[in-house]
Every structure is written in C-alpha cells, then in structure tokens.
Amino acid sequence: MADDYQPQIRSADEMPADNRRGGDVRTLLSPKTVGSSTGFMGVATIGPGDWIAEHYHPFSEEFIYVVSGSLVAELDSERHDVPGRHGLFIPINVKHRLRNESDEDAFIVFHLGPLAPRPPMGHVDTEQRQPAAAAPAS
C-alpha cells in the first residue's frame, strides 16, 4: 500500500458537482480522491422534476440510501417507489434511471463496488439527457 493510504474525510461541499446526467452528483470517496481500491461513494441531490439519466454498471453493484425526499427508480424499465430512509440495491448490468416526482429535493448517498478495470468501463449511458423541460416518458 502507498504511504498516503490513510483514513480520510471529505466534504460534499468541497467536491465538484457533476450535472451531465442530471441531478447534482458529488463523488466524495474514490480512487481519485482518497486512493480507495474496491469502490467509491458519493451523494446526489435530485430536485423536483429532475432525474438521473438511464445507465448501467457492467462491473459494479450500486447501493443507494434515500436520506430525504423520495425517488422513483426505473430498474430495467420497471417502476419502483423508494421513499426516504429506505435503501435500494441495483445489481450489475441492471439499467436504471432515478426520477424525483415529488415537490421536494431527494438527497441520496450512493456506493458502487467493485471497481471496473478502468474508470471509463464502469458506467454505460443508455440515454442522453433531454432538456430539463421535457421529462422522460415512463
């Protein structure tokens, strides 16, 4: 292990937001930010009417905990309501889209593992984001 392989603390407020696929996604703990070797975690805020575009992970399971608000998770095109204080497990290769149909922000914590062999291989987009005014059909 490298000498810098030590416990570390990161603030969501210090991480850059990734809005390319929808929501405000911030990766806190990852190989790039803390040198982790088996997975990564972060948080996301999905505003009312917003969504994270459909995608899947060919090497990783995803674990999501809805801290506040609620989500609609479309898993392989099947709708699942996920209220606050509930966890969601998404197996490898399951296409998923996360939508907020409520009137309040949804705040989630996510973790993925194991890591893909190379970062570009870990996330496969299956739709491109549409303009914010047009939500995806369900």
Kindly report, residue by residue over 108-135, the tens digit of the pLDDT. 999 999 999 999 999 999 999 865 544 5
Q: What's the burial of 54, exposed, middle or buried (CB within 10 Å: 0-12/13-18/19+)?
A: buried
In angstroms, the Cα distances linking 125 to 17, 25, 88 are 18, 15, 20
- Rounded to two decimals, what is the model's pTM? 0.91
Per-residue model confidence (pLDDT) at position 34? 96
- Judge contact between 71 and 23, C-beta under 8 A: no
| Exposure on the CB side of residue 93, measured as CA atoms within 13 A | 0
Tell how strand 71-75 and strand 96-99 pair up.
antiparallel
Average pLDDT over residues 75-93: 98
Mean pLDDT for 81-86 is: 98
Instruction: Give the pLDDT of residue 129.
Output: 84
Q: What is the mean pLDDT of residues 55-61?
A: 98
Q: What is the pLDDT of residues 4-16, one digit of tens each?
A: 789 999 999 999 9
For 20-118, which CATH superfamily applies?
Answer: Jelly Rolls (2.60.120.10)
What mean pLDDT value characterizes the chain? 93
Give the sheet arrangement for strand 51-56, strand by strand.
Answer: 78-82, 71-75, 96-99, 51-56, 124-125
Half-sphere exposure of residue 4, counting CA atoms within 13 Å on the CB side?
7
For range 26-46, the mean pLDDT? 97
pLDDT tops 60 at residue 24: yes
Residue 53 reports pLDDT greater than 70: yes
Say what percent of the chain tops pLDDT 90. Answer: 88
- The alpha helices in the chain, defined as continuous H runs, are 31-34
Q: What is the pLDDT of residue 2?
A: 61
